[in-house]
A = this chain, B = another copy of it.
Amino acid sequence: MSECGKLIVVSGPSGAGKSTVISRVMEQDKSVVFSVSATTRKPREGECEGVDYFFIDTQHFRKMIENGELLEYAQYVDNYYGTPKAPVLDNLEKGLSVLFDVEVQGAMQIKSLCPEAILIFVIPSEFSEIEKRLHARGTDSEEKISQRIKTAKYEYSFAMEYDYIVLNDMPDTAADEIKSIITAEKCRAVNRKKYLTEVCSL
């Protein structure tokens, strides 16, 4: 039985392990399509064009802003991140849910544009874990790590704007929580009115 597609917005500070969790959700729930963001940041090792991100330059990104081709965009550390509008609309029309991996600013933009979007904030249960993971990643300078931690604290101050907080101590448990949220949201009475019509019109 086809059910309505949802906008699922997942944010979380750098080092929360969000990407791993999202990959597991995408592998396991085929009713959800990942919204590939555009970014001006350099690809990390193993990241693929069109799968993880559309990697574009700043000039191209600014052009997309000007042309209104982005659903939301944000500047984070030194780079731009944004969501191309067209593929999102295509998927919703097909009845698929679309999952967004966006920064706090982007999440707030999506919420104000689409109040029915489901906002999920991913964090480890202990803040110190973020610092640990950023160091373990080994891709950033000490200065950049400090900046990311400062940004993380800023991002935490938006947590209560989200509908859900998912705890990522174990990626499988966190992925299960996100899948449960998606399932539960489909069960909301307001989304299942059509199953009552037959009786209530009697």
A-to-B contact residues, CB < 8 Å: 1, 120-121, 123, 125-127, 152-153, 156-157, 159-160, 162-167, 176-177, 179-181, 183-185, 187-190, 192-193, 195-196, 198-200, 202
Per a CB cutoff under 8 Å, which of B1, B164, B195, B198 touches A165?
A: B195
- Pairwise interchain contact B164-A200, C-beta atoms closer than 8 A: no
Q: Which residues of B contact A166 (CB under 8 A)?
A: 187
**Contact among B121, B159, B180 for A179, CB-based, below 8 A:** B180
Residues of B within 8 A of A162 (CB): 189
Take A1-B125, A180-B187 as given contacts and tell me if A160 and B195 are in contact as well, using a CB distance cutoff of 8 Å: no
Q: What are the residues of chain B within 8 A of A180 when measuring CB–CB?
A: 179-181, 183-184, 187
Contact B160 A189 (CB under 8 A): yes
Contact indicator B125/A195 (Cβ below 8 Å): yes
Inter-chain contact B160/A199, CB cutoff 8 Å? no
Cα(A51)–Cα(B152), bound, Å: 49
B165 lies within 8 A of A192 (CB): yes
Q: A153-B199, A156-B199, A184-B184 are in contact. Are A189 and B176 (CB under 8 A)?
A: no
